Amino acid sequence: MRRCLVAWALVVAPFATTTRAADQPKTAAKPNVLFIAIDDLRDWVGFLGDNQVKTPNMDRLAARGLTFTRSYCAAPVCNPSRTALMSGLRPGSTGVYENNADWRTTNAAGVTHLTKHFMANGYFASGAGKIYHGSYPPPKDYWNDFANQGAEEDDTPKAKKGKPGDDSWGFGNFQFGPTTGGDDSLADYHIVSYCVKELRKKHDKPFFLACGLHKPHLPWHVPQKYFDLYPLDQIKLPPVKENDLADVPPAGFRMAKPAGDHKKIVEAGKWKEAVRAYLATISYCDAMVGRLIDEFDKSAYRDNTVVVLWSDHGWHLGEKEHWRKFALWEEATRSPAVYIVPGLTKPGTVCERTVDHMSLYPTLCDLCGLDTPKHVQGKSIKSLLGDPAAPWADPAVTTYLHNNHAVRTEKWRYIRYADGSEELYDHAADPHEWTNLATAEKYAGVKKDLAKWLPTENKPDAGKKGKQ
């Protein structure tokens, strides 16, 4: 269901009368949490070394804390990724593998989710935007207050989209082009405004404030000024290999769907235009993060708040002849993760260990002095936040659809599909995953060691079969 921007005006109207930072109370004994969730943001951010994108605000945020260079999602799809992170249960433990599975009808609804756990331990939990998948918002008692839960990703008013011929193009829900409106013509602007209002309030309890930004999720419609940051003749395409799918097993080929998005984009000659639109949308998101952080810095809570920024998964832009997420390769599974923890993380630090987003729930509990519920399947990474070089044996594990998994260590990516077919990539020698080593006998021992980390619980698919 679409929400109109008029409704947002009602949400954010109180801002002018809210209490400013100078009037705030002393900081609470337990740290607050500022939880910044971004949709579809891959590793194209400045703080992870990308030299094409412009993300000055996320870069300055990362410079204040610790960045994980090898952070991965639990699932390369919005709904299962978010369900896993918020519930603490991996996709195989719930059967939530796709966007068509209602987690509220599975055992994921029978455990204590992240915000409910914080609320039970004296926190005020509020937020706005996309934290859970919009189709399946949680019951109202998962928050003390929440704005815009369940809003559509396509939040661009049609009247404000650009006209055909002005860099607009697309098919189905793969649409991009400039809007004629300003930053406030998109829901993300008002999501941040709600969070700004919360930061201006007096809080007599520690708070858990969630800011869920939709962009850079499709459609890639943002104001023209963000497109102007990226002249088309300067766009660099991601590195690709011709016939890269030749050594990929049929199960992987079916996920890639080379005759789908990729064929349409290439045949239309729109590859650079699509990359430009994705970059523009990232920069719009970055501007919204900037607004949030500017207000956070003015608040009384800056010195007693754990800040975590994460994205639900990555995104392909033609690598492996694939677009979007919905795959188990590096581009779809790697996503940014930044932690700022007063008194623990050091500014500008980087951790090269492999972690996945199942660690967020237990880590936030650990940092805030809360017991971690027994059902939570991830492990706290607090030790890495204090010492990025600390020993860490666990790989990152990602699941897409029933019984298809990827195991990622600092050196290897191992994929095993439900039919038993495999892929193996040596990231030290092959960072783009161009050469599948799985059929080489000399790597049998490597595969055996990595296979020990494959999930053993693979519940039936809780969603109805349909178009992926």
What the block records as the tokens of 458 is 């693979």
CA 413/CA 402 separation, integer angstroms: 19
211 among known catalytic residues: no
How far is residue 105 from each of residues 146, 191, 462, measured CA to CA in Å? 22, 28, 8
Q: Please, which residues bridge with residue 412 across strands? A: 426
* Side-chain-side CA neighbours of residue 19 (13 Å): 12
CB 130 within 8 A of CB 213: yes
Catalytic entry in 78, 211, 351, 365: 78
203 among known catalytic residues: no
CA 315/CA 345 separation, integer angstroms: 28
- 449 Cβ neighbours under 8 A, 6+ residues apart: none
CB atoms near residue 1 (< 10 Å) = 7
Q: Please, which residues bridge with residue 67 across strands? A: 338, 350
CA 468/CA 460 separation, integer angstroms: 16
Catalytic entry in 113, 117, 133, 190: 133
Q: What is the 3-state secondary structure (H, E, C) of 231-244?
A: CHHHCCCCCCCCCH
What the block records as the tokens of 146 is 């929440």
Q: At what angle do helices 78-87 and 360-367 cross, to 10 degrees?
A: 30
Q: What is the 3-state secondary structure (H, E, C) of 30-47?
A: CCEEEEEEECCCCCCCHH
CB 212 within 8 A of CB 131: yes
Which residues belong to the active site? Answer: 78, 133
